[in-house]
Amino acid sequence: MAELSDLELLDALGVDPKPEKKKARSAKEERIIAGFEEIQKFVGDHGDAPMHGEGKDIFERLYATRLDQIRRHVECRDLVKELDHQGLLDGDFEAIEAATLDIEDDELLSQLGVEPKGDDVTVLKHVRPRAEVRAAEEIGNRTKCEDFEKFKSIFQAVQQELTNGIRETKTFEKKSEIEVGKFFIVGGQKAYVAEMGEIFLDGRGMRDSRLRVIYDNGTESNLLLRSLQRALHKDEHGRRITESSAGPLFTSIEEEDDLPSGTIYVLRSKSDHPLIKEHRDVVHKIGVTGGSVEKRIAKAKLDPTFLMADVEIVATYKLSNINRIKMEKILHKVFASAKLNIDIIDRFGNPVSPQEWFLVPVFIVDEVVTKIREGTIGSYSYDIESASLKQRGGN
């Protein structure tokens, strides 16, 4: 007996070898399926079917209405029943037969909450994505911070550090930058992460945590870490505020004004000017140089910067990887209240107002340098009346 060919064998078995053509779906059917898949994603994220109610957000209520319509319309239910792995169509529902469904496609899609926008049939018209709306709602849902007095001085210190250049604002880049004690600018206000709850996995298996965030206008919010992350990314003015000990002064990244090493110097004048003679022990020139202090003062008596007189070196402090301009700016800001205002006549007979001279005891300069190294100087200012450093916001 001759062997049968493959086609003859299939024919003998009653199998039609021609592949069944997949029925093309209409645009309306594709949109209904896309709408049902959005409901399924909601259930996957939240663990429950969407519900009606004023306490629910707009998208959950929309999904609930859409699911009601799919359950009631036989045409829709038959279309998506093979996709229903979550049992959303189980149960008895008041059905509307397809034959009596005498409405236009756009009206049906409107009932289902799936209105086409341009060529994208899966995007809701005039409605922002759910994640964006949720983030905006959580950021905007603020209450009065009852213990704001605990945080008020912290915000004041941060603002002073920004003014002094100790802190800077940088573009927010990644979720790991959100930690307890960190500051951000979001919605035009400074935000302080005061507390962070336990890490948990959300409906998509992503790590998240509940935060207590305090704002500089005396309000607070209890929001998710990922909500703050989204808000910072979407806010074109959203920024992170750098740490006072990180970066602008001591950094491994070289900047234009950085020096491989530098010296803070404290000088005392030998001038016979009456004001200088009277306060010689506390009148000091404070600055920063990248070179030799001895060379810097070699011709002091010819330089009005040095009061047209010789000076003596009282103290020096060696530092590495410093930004000279920022360092001097910080020092002079701290001692601004003690700046010495004096006019000196230079060798050409012209009056000159030397800078960088202050009425400050040397031991205070020691304290300031220590706090600069610790990264805490932004919280302090010099009080000339008591000749001491005072913490801002303190007594």
Angle between helices 324-334 and 362-374 (to 10 degrees): 130
Domain end (from 93, 109, 127): 127
Same domain, 267 and 317: yes
**137 and 121 housed in the same domain:** no
326 and 222, same structural domain? no
Q: Pick the last residue of a domain from 77, 104, 127.
A: 127
Q: Where is the domain boundary, 214, 241, 268? A: 241
The pair phi, psi for residue 207, each rounded to 5°, is -75, 135
Residue 253 included in any domain: no
268, 386: one domain: yes
Assigned domain for 307 exists: yes
Asked whether residue 15 is domain-assigned, the answer is no
Under 8 Å CB-to-CB from 198, ≥6 apart: which residues? 209
Nearest to 59 by CA among 43, 79, 81: 43
Q: Angle, nearest 10°, between helix axes 58-72 and 130-140? A: 140
Q: Is residue 2 part of a domain?
A: no
Give yes or no: residues 324 and 222 share one domain. no
**One domain for residues 43 and 101:** yes
State whether 28 and 75 are in the same domain.
Answer: yes
How many C-beta neighbours within 10 Å does residue 235 have? 17
HEC sequence for the chain: CCCCCHHHHHHHCCCCCCCCCCCCCCHHHHHHHHHHHHHHHHHHHHCCCCCCCCCCCHHHHHHHHHHHHHHHEHHHHHHHHHHCCCCCCCCCCCCECHHHCCCCHHHHHHHCCCCCECCECCCCCCCCCHHHHHHHHHHHCCEECCCCHHHHHHHHHHHHHHHHCCCCEEECCCHHHCCCCCEEEECCEEEEEEEECCCEECCCCCEECEEEEEECCCEEEEEEHHHHHHHHHHCCCCEEECCCCCCCCCCCCCCCCEEEEEEEEEEEECCCCHHHHHCCCCEEEEEEECCCHHHHCCCHHHCHHHCCCCEEEEEEEEEEEEEHHHHHHHHHHHCHHHECCCCEECCCCCEECCCCEEECCHHHHHHHHHHHHHCCHHHEEEECCCCEEEECCCC
Tell me if 178 is assigned to some domain: yes
Residue 320 lies in a domain: yes
Q: Assess whether 144 and 212 both reside in one domain.
A: yes
* Whether 308 contacts 344, CB under 8 Å: yes
**Domain shared by 266 and 387, yes or no:** yes
| Residues ≥6 apart with Cβ < 8 Å to 133 | 57, 58, 59
Residues of the domain holding 194: 132-241
Does any domain span residue 29?
yes
**CA distance linking residue 348 with residue 277, whole number of Å:** 23
**Residue 166 and residue 212 share a domain:** yes
- Residues 99, 192 within the same domain: no
Q: What's the pLDDT at 8? A: 60
155 and 70 in one domain? no
Residue 50 within a domain: yes
Number of structural domains found in the chain: 3
- List the chain pLDDT tens, one digit each, 395 residues: 455 555 565 566 555 555 555 556 777 788 888 888 888 888 888 888 888 876 677 777 778 888 888 888 888 888 888 888 888 888 776 665 443 444 444 554 555 555 444 444 344 444 444 444 444 444 546 888 999 988 888 888 888 778 767 778 888 888 778 888 889 999 888 999 988 888 888 767 778 888 999 999 999 998 888 889 888 888 888 899 987 543 344 443 444 444 445 788 999 999 998 888 888 888 999 988 888 889 889 889 888 889 999 999 998 887 766 677 778 888 888 888 899 888 888 888 888 888 889 999 988 988 888 887 777 777 788 888 888 888 765 54
